[in-house]
A and B are shown apart, each in its own frame.
Chain A
Amino acid sequence: GAVVSQHPSWVICKSGTSVKIECRSLDFQATTMFWYRQFPKQSLMLMATSNEGSKATYEQGVEKDKFLINHASLTLSTLTVTSAHPEDSSFYICSARDGGGTEAFFGQGTRLTVV
């Protein structure tokens, strides 16, 4: 089946710094990718929809200037957490679907810890 690869798997950064997370579709092209955030013992919440070649669509309450999304190619979307704070510590997961396929594939997730 289709594979979505996320990198890094975990990252620790200092408050005030920026962190970039990559999401790649390995064997298919994804015009749309989704970024979710999951706090401990909670469900996945959609942060934004990443659209290739255009601006991302952010969910209500998600700061677009803090969570920068770039979808520059059909196989890569990046999420940059800018000026990270401890409350940004979370598990970030990307997802993509192979064109007209029915199944949504998820990356391995990135555990971000801001200290």
Chain B
Amino acid sequence: ELKVEQNPLFLSMQEGKNYTIYCNYSTTSDRLYWYRQDPGKSLESLFVLLSNGAVKQEGRLMASLDTKARLSTLHITAAVHDLSATYFCAVELKGSGNTPLVFGKGTRLSVIA
């Protein structure tokens, strides 16, 4: 059974600071996803990581994947209030065909002045 663990689950950080969210998963996977969710809304896709060593950046967010360690990180640089949201990582089971995603519990980020 694929398990996805995220930490921290809650994060309160000051504007301008940097921080990293970690996502560990238990079995081999082809793909790892990062999503953002605002209250009452659905998921917004941030990154799709497909291979070992993959690194993607968008604005103040950067995601990386280490498939050997089964670890992905989401790094936040110089946080701003608009980044306050819940961030989920999700992993797709390795195999052929169309498989569902298994989600971490989410990290609720609050950026304060």
List chain A positions with a Cβ less than 8 A from chain B: 6, 31-32, 34, 41-46, 49, 93, 95, 97, 102-109, 111
Contacts of A42 in B (CB 8 A): 105-106
Contact A44 B48 (CB under 8 A): no
Number of interface residues of B (CB under 8 A): 23
Tell me, yes or no, whether B88 is within 8 Å of chain A by CB: yes
Contact of A106 among B40, B42, B105, B108 (CB under 8 A): B42
Contact of B43 among A45, A93, A97, A102 (CB under 8 A): A93
Most A Cβ at <10 Å: residue of B45, B92, B100: B100
| A44 to B90 alpha-carbon distance, docked (Å) | 10
Contact A104 B40 (CB under 8 A): no
Contact A49 B100 (CB under 8 A): yes
| A89 to B48 alpha-carbon distance, docked (Å) | 31
| A78 to B40 alpha-carbon distance, docked (Å) | 21
| A24 to B70 alpha-carbon distance, docked (Å) | 33
